[in-house]
Structure 1
Amino acid sequence: MYIRRSLSADQAGIRQNISAENGKLKKIRMKIHSSFFNHSYFIIIILGLVSSCTVVKKYQPYKPFVFENEIHINGKMNSGEKKELENKLETQIEDSVKPVFKSVLFVRHVLNRPAVFDSNYIKRSVQNMNNLLHNNGYYRSDVQAEWNKVDTVIRNDKPDQYRLKVNYNINTGSLFRIDSISYHFTDTTLQRLVNENKDKSLLKKSEAFSNQQIDEELNRLIEVFRNNGFYRINREMLKAQLDTVNVSLIDASADPFEQIQLQVEAQKKYQNPTIDIAILEIPLKDSSITQLYKVGNVVILPDEPAELMTGMRRDVERTEYGNYSIYSRYNLFKPSFLVKRIALKPGELFRASNFNKTLLNFNRIEAWQNVTINARPRDSIEPAVDFFIRMVPAKKYFFSADFEGSSILSAQNQLYNAGNKGLALNFQLKNRNVARQALQLENVLRTGIEFTDFSKILSTEMGLSNRLIFPRLLTPFKLKNQEDFLNARTYVNLDGSYIDRYKYYKINTLNAYLGYEFQKRANINWQIRFPNIEFTRIYDIDLGFEQLIRDYPLLSYSYNNGLIMGINGTYTRRFNTSNPRIFNYLRLYGEESGLLIGALFKKQTQDGKPLGQLYRFIKLSADFRHYVTHAKSMWAYRVFAGYGLGFKTENRQGDISLPFFRQFFAGGPNSMRGWQLRKLGPGSSIFYDTLRVRTITTDPPGVVEKKFDDRYADIQLEGNVEYRFDIFPVYGYWLRGALFTDIGNVWVRRSSSPEFKYAVFDLGRLYKDIAVAGGAGLRLDFKFFLLRFDLGWRLKDPLYASDEYIKPQNDGWFITSNMRRPAFQFGIGYPF
């Protein structure tokens, strides 16, 4: 049986807490003591004062040293542009006059062995800054440095310490913008290629000028030429000519009245200066640079030992396959497989893109540990380039064992398990060259256990995953321009798992799918599973839990056997901005099950029919991330939204939701960190907080009462902000810190049960339902992986805004009991 403890109307104005000892509701008035805020401000002030403590060690007495540099910028730009320029200018200060402070335990800053001040380094820094400003279009910049004022720090024990503050005063002047772009090549073929690709130019009229743009445009032109047969062409034959002078102003024959008009226009142009850019060809003595080259002989050496890579050996077998020569030592790979991965075609015009594509096609396959392509040009009547593809094979078999400790063991465990601590041991066996075609066969055995206080076991897991990977797209029809799909792979998967959720239920799952992964552009990745078939069997259900899911329709739909047949796909894209310190990331996910099959075979979805356990649903989610990096810190932002819609079938009626292993949940080290995994929501409902499952036992006889609060939902909204910063290195590794806040919750889409009244998403109650967490954490960065420790506080708990008869203060903000009990989270890697 189950017990549902509800709240009565006469409890208005009273906050409830559930006692863990006797399960009874206690009337406790939640109030934040004013001393909490007073102490907080006191602590903040103390930390601020202590953190300003700076110590200088091993300085030369009575000799000045640079203690601080300040940059003052005077120019027309917004605060963001000014801050970005200031960061760039700071990098131009010479190391000898740039003090480096080390932080010790957050509160102490140490400057060790400062160099004696030398004005020559200041002058070099000024020149460096001017060069940077010129390179970024500020041709009228002026940089002045003041270093004459030396402050003497008189202390009781350090009267001989002289600190120098250097001020760099920057007058940027007006920013030059591009007025015109022209290209002039004496070679007619080069000029034609430039004209055909002019629309792809990186130089745009009216945009701010920078030397970096010039370099990138010259590199683009070289790439265009090398992709059209010009094998020997290089940057030495191209130059950019810049002109900032209005030639008409120095024309002595000009009409006096026209000269006056030109002077007026020149004054306007002085205030908004422009620059003309001409890309020119430099005449060279070597005429072979502008010759067209074709692909000559292509020789493949697919299994060369590393020690023999310097040249050919006699103990190899030569095979001619098409127009290619293959020299194999151990016959490890099929010739047809090797040739299909080569984009360099003998007799065709040389293209650098085909060279790079060939190298990429082989390097991304794990069957080889090293791949190189040597080129030998032949200058003859018909110039050509011979290519030698040399490959060092990797070991065929790979075995590994991984040990994990976290509050989340794996993606699978996030769906089923309910604890907050766990251990896992995983074994992997990989064959890197199946069927002599570099197919990969991966077999992974997962074992895990989850518990609460290192004594009470909550769940165990065992799973076996088998995956065969093809280094190309396998489709029933021929794809047009399949070579344009970068990093293309096909997966054939068969997974199975067993999970025992002690004293509640057991779960068996079987999943088979055909997966595709590819890129159309370097920053865009696609992952598609079609078809995706998954069967979940839930059994050995506890009597009390069985009664519970029968009485609540929403739970009865979620916790039962189910079949998924459909398709899912993931689209990820990285957005690079013009500012290298800022980048964005977008991930879109979509899944459907049973929509087409369920509509075509509607009668087969009845109870007892082959598709009687078919789930019909749509699940969508979007994850957007924004990162702003600085020299020693980073701001990370994340916004997540998820929505699921379940459909009725002949066998599934009433309140329909997503199956629980596809629903959303919040809490844990990667979500709302003030709550443990799956312990937040849904909405502001108190359903799970007052629910008990009671089971009558016979051996020994008695009644066992348990709390069940695994919380899943169909809708999720979440936002996260995290400030990450360096603290200090520890034996070559970095200890980093973080301050964070998480905002969000999960909701059910619809429910006819009054128990879930405040669990349903309602825009009018969004503020009451939103949860807010905040906290701080430490990260130990081992370069290859990162250990993360976070403490999260429940700043706003929607539980205390759940009932219309309860009038909690501040809608659940800063509840005293919550502030006293932060949630500890441990994870591997960053949360986002």
Structure 2
Amino acid sequence: MCMRLKLAKVKWFLGLFWLIALLTLAGCSEERRTKVVDYPIGKPFMYGNKVILKGSGTKDELKKLTTDLNNYWDDSARVRKEQRYLLGYRIKNPPVYNSINIIRSINYMNAYLNAQGYYYANFKDSIHKDSVGDQIRVNATITINQGKNISIDSVGYQLDDTTMQQLALQRMRGSQIKKGSPYSKQLISAELDRMISIYRRKGYYKLTREDLYAEIDTTDINLIELTLDPFKQAELIAESARKRRLNPTWNLTIKKRATADSSKLTQFKVANIYYYPETKITDVIDSITTSKGFIEEQHGDSYLRYQVGKFKYQPLKEHTFLSKGELFNEESYFKTMNTLGQIGAWQQVDSKIIERDKDSLDLYFYLVPALKQNFTIDLEGSRNTGDIGAGNLFGISTNLSYKNRNVWKRAIQSITNFRTGVELNLSLGNNNTNQQLVQTFNISAGHTFAFPKIIQPFKNWKALSTVDNKRTLLSFNAAYVDRKDYYKLRSILGSWGYEWKKVQRRSDDTWLFKPINVELYSLDTLPGLDTLFMKNPFLRNSFNTGNIYSQSLSYTKTINAANRKSHFIRLGVEETGLIFGLFKGLRNDIYRYIKVEAEYRQSKKWDKSEMAYRAFAGMGY
């Protein structure tokens, strides 16, 4: 006993020693905890970099700008510290100090601030040398007064083309640049991308980002006013300089570059559409496009070219968002490729556009089929030592799964599952003569069809054309569980539902609607369970028998914000018995309820940490 007490005291003393040592190291300055290796002897070298930013922005804005500016030190002036042993730092091969590198760093930082709209920043550098042994350490500090951020005074479009000018004015509300918006090159770049996206959705197939540019006008209109009085002119110049310093504003105009290629101003239309649904992954696109070794089926303005006939035309047409005669829409073109690739019947989708005549485009889609069928077998084992009846059980089960990605040649997904298992009593040799070896037996089978479209009675429902990944889900499942001496449970489940998704730039909206959901249960209670009911009456609530005829709707939204935040929102509602409960003969056999639930999750990421939280609420009646 005495020996154990001594060991405990020694461990406690060592723990206290290490704690004091860590606190002592943490209290030391970073300079004392930094070791320099492979430094130039006899020459001043860079030991520290620091940026001090002064401005009128918020604390978070100044912190972000300071962090970004620290990334613009010239490579020959940057100090790279490596963290070692939790609290220590090491600088290896520090660069030799050269004032030119500091000037170059200031130029880089000024260019970055210009890109953010700060054109009137002032810079001041401070160099401090310190000798430590044979080391000549240099700490460089750059103090920046960022000045006023330039704002946009007016926005205009001069595109020298009637149709392009009209489109720009019609879509002006979607611009992120407004009167008073802070100027930044990133904002201008986003506006040019937006304009190109608009035009390429309206047939301007050959128009590129290089064909548009933003012109900035910094001229003060008051200076254009003619005056013969030199004192008046000097007064105007001084007033203009004061305004630029206190509230700098610029005028912005989006213009089109002059070009000799008239096709850049041509609005192209969709001509013919060709599908190659049996493309091999080793095929060369240019070769199969001109090959005549295909069977060709014409379906209106589209052509299906194949050699075996593994796919029907219908699923291809249903997931193509372009048709002959309409203006070429680049967004619909890429949406077609993405949607065809997400069905599951094809593992890869490529495409090609070939010009025909002066204003027409032929579209070619090359689809590489995925493996049509696959079969998996899983074997699982488990051990349960807390069973109320047997006490020591060993379970073994197997799961068979079969998947077909192209049912009836229509890209329909089909999944079949079969599962069976038993639980064996391992306590038979411990005077348990009344118990059997097999304690539980279960078997289940299920089948699910996923149709790559919304099957509904309404034709030409325009709302469906705006959503992605449309699916109709049909599923069946049957199960049987036999718990020896306790109960026998039989269940049959079936549902019909719709799932669709709308993909946006930074968020996804997913809907799942099940208008029909049927769950039928049958329970036989055996003497062992009746005995448990007598001992614990509340246990009977877990074995209520009843059927469910329900409808449910769920909505899920995921948001990936630009500020490293992600949001997850889920809303769900389910009701059962609203219709079938009206029949008196079924009221005692079905559950009748309505429930509503909501969930919210958010995570915020920083460079070295992350914070996440979750909230959930539900209500039922």
The reply to whether TM is greater than 0.5 is yes
User: Per the alignment, do residues 130 and 39 of structure 1 end up closer, same or farther by CA in structure 2, a change over 3 Å counting?
Assistant: farther
Q: Output the CA distance in 2 between the equivalents of 1:39 and 1:495.
A: 62
User: Per the alignment, do residues 345 and 100 of structure 1 end up closer, same or farther by CA in structure 2, a change over 3 Å counting?
Assistant: farther
Q: 1:504-523 CA distances to partner (integer Å, 9 max, x unpaired)?
A: 87765543212222123432
User: Per the alignment, do residues 137 and 448 of structure 1 end up closer, same or farther by CA in structure 2, a change over 3 Å counting?
Assistant: farther
SS in 2 for 1:562: coil
Q: Output the CA distance in 1 between the equivalents of 2:198 and 2:361.
A: 18
User: Per the alignment, do residues 125 and 261 of structure 1 end up closer, same or farther by CA in structure 2, a change over 3 Å counting?
Assistant: closer
Match of 1:331 in 2: 309
Q: Output the CA distance in 2 between the equivalents of 1:425 and 1:70.
A: 63
Q: Output the CA distance in 1 between the equivalents of 2:246 and 2:110.
A: 20
User: Per the alignment, do residues 109 and 580 of structure 1 end up closer, same or farther by CA in structure 2, a change over 3 Å counting?
Assistant: same
Whether the 8 Å contact between 2:84 and 2:90 is mirrored in structure 1 is no
Deviation at residue 110 of structure 1 after TM alignment: 5.8
Deviation at residue 558 of structure 1 after TM alignment: 4.6
- 1:594 counterpart letter in structure 2: G
Match of 2:110 in 1: 130
User: Per the alignment, do residues 505 and 434 of structure 1 end up closer, same or farther by CA in structure 2, a change over 3 Å counting?
Assistant: same
Match of 1:511 in 2: 493
Match of 1:71 in 2: 51
Q: 1:257-291 CA distances to partner (integer Å, 9 max, x unpaired)?
A: 99979966874563232222111111111111101
Q: Output the CA distance in 2 between the equivalents of 1:594 and 1:151.
A: 85
- 1:192 counterpart letter in structure 2: Q
Deviation at residue 535 of structure 1 after TM alignment: 3.5
Q: 1:593-649 CA distances to partner (integer Å, 9 max, x unpaired)?
A: 223432x2255213xxxxx1x2222222222222222233322232x2222323xxx
Match of 1:467 in 2: 448
Note the 1:10-21 alignment, pairs <5 A.
none
User: Per the alignment, do residues 83 and 164 of structure 1 end up closer, same or farther by CA in structure 2, a change over 3 Å counting?
Assistant: same
Note the 1:31-180 alignment, pairs <5 A.
56=35, 59-60=38-39, 62=41, 66=46, 68-94=48-74, 97-99=78-80, 101=82, 107=86, 111=90, 113-117=92-96, 119=98, 122-150=102-130, 152=132, 165-180=139-154
Whether the 8 Å contact between 1:619 and 1:642 is mirrored in structure 2 is no
Deviation at residue 99 of structure 1 after TM alignment: 1.7
User: Per the alignment, do residues 50 and 342 of structure 1 end up closer, same or farther by CA in structure 2, a change over 3 Å counting?
Assistant: same
- 1:485 counterpart letter in structure 2: V
Q: Output the CA distance in 2 between the equivalents of 1:71 and 1:460.
A: 71
User: Per the alignment, do residues 129 and 262 of structure 1 end up closer, same or farther by CA in structure 2, a change over 3 Å counting?
Assistant: closer
Q: Output the CA distance in 1 between the equivalents of 2:58 and 2:421.
A: 54
Deviation at residue 143 of structure 1 after TM alignment: 4.1
- 1:326 counterpart letter in structure 2: L
Match of 1:643 in 2: 618
Deviation at residue 43 of structure 1 after TM alignment: 8.2
User: Per the alignment, do residues 388 and 260 of structure 1 end up closer, same or farther by CA in structure 2, a change over 3 Å counting?
Assistant: same
Note the 1:396-435 alignment, pairs <5 A.
396-400=372-376, 428-435=401-408
Whether the 8 Å contact between 1:426 and 1:444 is mirrored in structure 2 is yes
Question: Is 1:488 paired with 2:495?
Answer: no
Match of 1:270 in 2: 245
Q: Output the CA distance in 2 between the equivalents of 1:423 and 1:622.
A: 37
SS in 2 for 1:132: helix
SS in 1 for 2:251: strand
Deviation at residue 160 of structure 1 after TM alignment: 5.6
- 1:568 counterpart letter in structure 2: S
Which residue of the other structure, out of 540, 546, 557, is the alignment partner of 2:533? 546
Deviation at residue 404 of structure 1 after TM alignment: 9.3
Q: Which has the higher contact order (CA 8 A, sep 6+)?
A: 1
Match of 2:254 in 1: 279
- 2:129 counterpart letter in structure 1: K
Larger Cα-atom Rg = 2
Q: Output the CA distance in 1 between the equivalents of 2:370 and 2:95.
A: 54
Question: Is 1:526 paired with 2:511?
Answer: yes
- 2:331 counterpart letter in structure 1: S
User: Per the alignment, do residues 181 and 423 of structure 1 end up closer, same or farther by CA in structure 2, a change over 3 Å counting?
Assistant: farther
SS in 1 for 2:72: coil
SS in 2 for 1:319: strand
Whether the 8 Å contact between 1:129 and 1:143 is mirrored in structure 2 is no
Q: Output the CA distance in 1 between the equivalents of 2:277 and 2:409.
A: 11
- 1:472 counterpart letter in structure 2: K
Q: 1:204-261 CA distances to partner (integer Å, 9 max, x unpaired)?
A: 2222222111111111111111111111111121110122332213534299899979
Q: Output the CA distance in 2 between the equivalents of 1:315 and 1:435.
A: 25
Question: Is 1:438 paired with 2:411?
Answer: yes
Match of 2:576 in 1: 593
Q: Output the CA distance in 2 between the equivalents of 1:458 and 1:170.
A: 78
User: Per the alignment, do residues 520 and 405 of structure 1 end up closer, same or farther by CA in structure 2, a change over 3 Å counting?
Assistant: farther
Q: Output the CA distance in 2 between the equivalents of 1:89 and 1:401.
A: 56
Whether the 8 Å contact between 2:47 and 2:94 is mirrored in structure 1 is no
SS in 1 for 2:547: strand
Whether the 8 Å contact between 1:570 and 1:588 is mirrored in structure 2 is yes
Which residue of the other structure, out of 573, 580, 584, is the alignment partner of 2:557? 573
Whether the 8 Å contact between 1:66 and 1:117 is mirrored in structure 2 is yes
Note the 1:215-226 alignment, pairs <5 A.
215-226=189-200
Note the 1:444-463 alignment, pairs <5 A.
444=417
Mind listing any 5+ residue stretches in structure 2 that lack a counterpart? 1-12, 384-391, 425-437
Match of 1:560 in 2: 544
Q: Output the CA distance in 2 between the equivalents of 1:369 and 1:127.
A: 49
User: Per the alignment, do residues 463 and 213 of structure 1 end up closer, same or farther by CA in structure 2, a change over 3 Å counting?
Assistant: farther
Q: 1:679-723 CA distances to partner (integer Å, 9 max, x unpaired)?
A: xxxxxxxxxxxxxxxxxxxxxxxxxxxxxxxxxxxxxxxxxxxxx
Q: Output the CA distance in 2 between the equivalents of 1:217 and 1:636.
A: 34
Which residue of the other structure, out of 242, 253, 270, is the alignment partner of 2:227? 253
Q: Output the CA distance in 2 between the equivalents of 1:615 and 1:404.
A: 34
Deviation at residue 379 of structure 1 after TM alignment: 4.7
Question: Is 1:230 paired with 2:204?
Answer: yes
Q: Give identity over the alignment, percent.
A: 29
- Superposition RMSD in Å: 4.0
Q: Output the CA distance in 2 between the equivalents of 1:404 and 1:397.
A: 23
User: Per the alignment, do residues 195 and 317 of structure 1 end up closer, same or farther by CA in structure 2, a change over 3 Å counting?
Assistant: same
User: Per the alignment, do residues 252 and 488 of structure 1 end up closer, same or farther by CA in structure 2, a change over 3 Å counting?
Assistant: same
SS in 1 for 2:207: coil
Deviation at residue 40 of structure 1 after TM alignment: 11
Whether the 8 Å contact between 2:493 and 2:520 is mirrored in structure 1 is yes
Whether the 8 Å contact between 1:439 and 1:469 is mirrored in structure 2 is yes
Q: Output the CA distance in 2 between the equivalents of 1:161 and 1:460.
A: 79
Q: Output the CA distance in 2 between the equivalents of 1:248 and 1:319.
A: 70
- 1:433 counterpart letter in structure 2: N
- 2:39 counterpart letter in structure 1: Q
User: Per the alignment, do residues 581 and 140 of structure 1 end up closer, same or farther by CA in structure 2, a change over 3 Å counting?
Assistant: farther
SS in 2 for 1:492: strand
Note the 1:700-719 alignment, pairs <5 A.
none
User: Per the alignment, do residues 591 and 116 of structure 1 end up closer, same or farther by CA in structure 2, a change over 3 Å counting?
Assistant: same
Q: How many residues align?
A: 570
Which residue of the other structure, out of 546, 563, 566, is the alignment partner of 1:583? 566
Whether the 8 Å contact between 2:580 and 2:586 is mirrored in structure 1 is no
Note the 1:619-658 alignment, pairs <5 A.
619-638=595-614, 640-646=615-621
Question: Is 1:476 paired with 2:449?
Answer: no
